[in-house]
Amino acid sequence: MKKFAFAALPLAMLAAACDGPAEEVGEEIDDVAEAQGEVIDERAEALEEMAEQAPTEAEAAELESQAETLEDTADGI
């Protein structure tokens, strides 16, 4: 029973907030999505740097393609 009460505490705190709980959850979801987009963008930048140092044009083109795909994914988040 104590575990249930402990788990319910964060929900009670959300309900007591000035904004509605749905709005708080929505903001959290937005924050998580933004963070995911930033991580994906950083990975794309790393791939672009690797492409600059790739030994062949084919490898560079493949890395740039992967980076572009990641950037598109991040933009869609």
pLDDT tens profile 8-62: 556 555 555 556 888 899 999 999 999 999 999 999 999 999 999 999 999 999 9
Q: Tokens 């869609």 sit at which residue?
A: 76
Tokens 């999505």, residue?
A: 33
Reduce the DSSP state of residue 20 to 3 states and report it.
coil
Helix axes 2-16, 21-52, angle to 10 degrees: 90
CA angle 61, 51, 57 (to 5 degrees): 45
